[in-house]
Amino acid sequence: MKYVSEYRDEGLMRDYIGAIASLTTQSWQIMEICGGQTHTIVKYGLDQLLPADITLIHGPGCPVCVTDSALIDQALLLAADPHIIFCSYGDMLRVPGTSADLLSIKAQGGDVRILYSPLDALALARQHPHKEVVFFAVGFETTAPATAMAIYQAHHNFHLKNFSVLVAHVLVPPAMEAILASPNCQVQGFLAAGHVCSITGYEGYHRLAQTYQVPIVVTGFEPIDILQGIYLCLQQLEAGRSQVKNQYARAVRKAGNSSAQQLLEAIFE
C-alpha cells in the first residue's frame, strides 16, 4: 500500500537504526511532540531499538490531556443544562473536571452526544432549532480549521442562532517555547508534529530553532518517518547545527495550507 507499507518496512527500519547507531557519538535527548508519534514509538518499540545514548522524551502531544480543568468544568455545567445538546469528541468524555466528567453527566440524563466532526454538531443545530447546540472544540492546529468552518457555515450559510462552540484549541509552538524556556529543560532536539505543520507550515519554527539553538525536524507518524526524523535531528546535533528540516515532505509544505490559515484568521482571535 503506497505511503503506508513502505514506511513500515522492517529491513529499512534496521538500516536506519544502524545508521543512527553509527552517527551517535554522545548522549542526546530528543522530544517527539505529537501523541501519534509517541503511539508509533511505543507500538513498534523504537525507543528500545535505538542506541542507549538516545533518549526519547514524550511531549505534550495530546490535546485532550492538556485541556484546562476550568474549561472541563465549564463543559460539565453546559452539558448538565436541560436546554442544551452538548457535543464532544468521544475521548473527552472520561477526562475529569473538578468533581465529575462528561460521561457521568450523560449518565445523569444530560444530552451529551459523541460526534466525529463539528459539522455533525452543525447538522444537529439545524435539526433541533429549539435547543442550543454546543460543540466542545478540542485540538491543536490540525482540527481547528474544521471548527472554524463549522462556525463560518453556521453564521454565513445557515444563519443559526442556536449553535455555539466552547473553544479549547491550543497552539503547538507556544508549548514548545514554554518547554525550551524552562530552566530545567533537557530537550536538545524536536520531532515536530507533521499533521500540525500540514496546516501551519514550518516557517514559524525557525525562530525557535535559532533562539534556543535546537534542531527541529518536521516528522510523520510511521516507523520509518520517526527513524528518519531522529536521524536528521542527530545529524544536526552531532554537527552543532540548529535548523528546521522537513522529513514529512509528502504531506507538509513550508508555507502550509493557506486556505486553512485564512479561515483560522477570519474566525479566531
Cell of 3: 505511503
Cβ atoms of 134 and 164 within 8 Å: the answer is yes
Same fold, 5-62+172-257 and 69-169: yes
**For the whole model, what pTM was predicted?**
0.91
Phi and psi at residue 181, in whole multiples of 5°? Answer: -80, -10
CATH class of segment(s) 69-169: alpha beta
Query: What pLDDT score does 4 carry?
Result: 81
Neighbour-count burial for 236-268, b at 16+ CB within 10 Å, e otherwise: bbeeeebbbbbbbeeebeeebbeebbebbeebe
The domain made up of 5-62+172-257 has a fold known as Rossmann fold (3.40.50)
Q: For the chain, what are the domain ranges?
A: 5-62+172-257, 69-169
Query: What pLDDT score does 1 carry?
Result: 52
Query: What pLDDT score does 87 carry?
Result: 98
Instruction: Write out residues in the chain with pLDDT < 70, as ranges.
Output: 1
Measured torsion, CA atoms of residues 174, 70, 61, 209, in degrees rounded to the nearest 10:
10
Phi and psi at residue 171, in whole multiples of 5°? Answer: -100, 145
Phi and psi at residue 39, in whole multiples of 5°? Answer: -60, -45
Query: What pLDDT score does 269 carry?
Result: 84
Contacts of 252 (CB under 8 A, 6+ apart): 194, 197, 198, 201, 202, 218, 246
